[in-house]
Each structure stands twice: as structure tokens, then as C-alpha cells.
Amino acid sequence: MAETIGSEMASDSSMSDKSAKIFVAGHRGLVGSAIVRKLQELGFTNLVLRTHAELDLTRQADVESFFAQEKPVYVILAAAKVGGIHANNTYPADFIGVNLQIQTNVIHSAYEHGVKKLLFLGSSCIYPKFAPQPIPESALLTGSLEPTNEWYAIAKIAGIKTCQAYRIQHGWDAISGMPTNLYGPNDNFHPENSHVLPALMRRFHEAKVNGAEEVVVWGTGSPLREFLHVDDLADACVFLLDRYSGLEHVNIGSGQEVTIKELAELVKEVVGFQGKLGWDCTKPDGTPRKLMDNSKLASLGWTPKVSLRDGLRQTYDWYLENVCKTNK
């Protein structure tokens, strides 16, 4: 009979062979690039990487040919179509369609061509808009989603369920990890469609360079948010591939909350902006609190290592070296 749930913990260290072929899908993004750095740092020597131009993951035949030829041992599925509220509202068909295509093609071909283990990565947006705080894994599918990103969220939920279905029907070791808000090298610092942390960093930097007297941030600064450095996420991904084999997805977060006001003050300090920080209280705050329950991952033996202050410093150094110099 096919394994349905199996042991939560893998029976042995499954990633001991540093020459094992590992396909990191989405290796140029924030998450994928960090996973590649971590694997290289740990001494893995046989990484298989493809750009979108080299392999379009939405094309089923191309994905099947790739797996038939390369036959990786492990797959980390970090490729996805991502974007902010405006993009999700404008291109809902893309956000559900492209992500479903990528997931279905990669997961099925990985199974068909003998991949030993697959890790699928999602997002905390899979949870209901009014989920309990901190959000446990069991909150999945217990309520309505946040309407602004439901297309992306539904695709990611389908990815979790696909991995579970292959485990139940075929006894195949496919697992899922759900990261919290991420930041770090290769983040999106676009002035209009970046997330709160890189947006703050860019605004304070430009204010410093231009000699501005004040930076005004939307809202009251009171909402609580959780942030995880992408290098910690990469570390957790390798840990899960090595140690976890369970049916249920696993939350990946820092477990540390910070108010938007505290975050803004910390970014201001790291950037070195000497002016004032103001708040436009006529603008919306968003969800008052969003924190993942990370007790499952902690019970498996993993904890984050990068403090928010150190992570912000490292990210700002990367921003200066890669974004500012490129834009000159």
C-alpha cells in the first residue's frame, strides 16, 4: 500500500551525497538565488540551473524533455509568477494560470522521471484573511482568502495539495514549505511595486542622497509584521529536504514580530538618513497583525540565525552595490 503520511522526520540524512544532482527552479529570483548560494556554501557540486529563456516551465513538453535528459535527484520548486496587489488585480488569469502550469509540469515530470524528493515553496498568503494569530498550518482552507491576491494563493494551495496527492497515491516524497515575508539580496526595489521593506529602504536611501528633510510613510506604523532573511529561508529549505518527510506543509518564519514603525526606524538607522520620519495617518494600515506559527519547524530542530538588524545591513550593502551602481 502507498504511504499516506509517513514519518514526519526522514529516517536518515537524505542529503549526504554532495554530488547529487539538484534542480533549483527559479534560481535567479530572491528565493532561488539564496538557495543556490546555500547549496554551494554547503559543498553541493552538481546544481542544475536553467533561465526562463533556456527552459519555459509552462511548456509541458519542454519540462518533460528536461527531466528525461537531466534526471535530477532533488528538486526545489522556487519558480513562480509573483507580484503585488496591482499586478494581481490586473492579471488574475496569469497569476492563477502560469503558477498552476509551472507547478503541475514540474511536480508531475519530477515524479515520472524518478526524482527522489521535491520541495515546493508557497507563501503565507495561502491562509485565510482572518486566520488566527499566530497562523498555524491547520488554518489552511478554514476561511476566505484575502481578495487582493486570491488568484496567486489558490494556485499555491493547489501546489500543496498536488504534493500531498502524489504522496498519498504514489508514496512519493514531495513536501511543501510556506515562507513568511522575505527580504535580502536580489529583492525587488522597484519604486512602485516592491514590498514594504525594500520600499522603505529605497525611500530612505533616496531621501539621504537628495538631502530631504523628511520621509512620510503611509498609515500609523502600528501593524505587526514578521520578516525572515532569505538566507535563513534557504537554510530552512535544505534542512527540510534533509530532515522532513511529512504530508502537511511547514511554515517557515522568524517567529519575531516588529511594528511597521519599528521597522521604519531601523531601516532609517541602517541607511543613515538623518531627517525626520513622518506618518500619513489618513492612509490605510492594512492587516493589524500577520505572524506565522513556526512551532512545527522549531520542533523539528530548526531556528533562524540572521537578526533583523544584521539582515538589513547586509541587504543595504547589496542594494548599494547592485541596484544603485546599476542605475547610475
Residue 310 CA, distance from chain mean position: 19
Q: Which residues contact 220 (CB under 8 A, 6 or more apart)?
A: 261, 279, 281, 285
Which of 74, 111, 127, 152 is labelled catalytic? 152
**What is the distance between the alpha carbons of residues 75 and 71, in angstroms, rounded to a whole number?**
10
- Specify the pairing of strand 22-25 against strand 47-48: parallel
CB 227 within 8 A of CB 258: yes
Q: What is the 3-state secondary structure (H, E, C) of 214-252?
A: EEEEECCCCCEEEEEEHHHHHHHHHHHHHHECCCCCEEE
Residue 35 CA, distance from chain mean position: 11
Reply yes or no on whether 152 is catalytic: yes
CB 319 within 8 A of CB 280: no
CB 221 within 8 A of CB 286: no
End-to-end CA distance of the chain: 61
Q: Which residues are catalytic?
A: 152
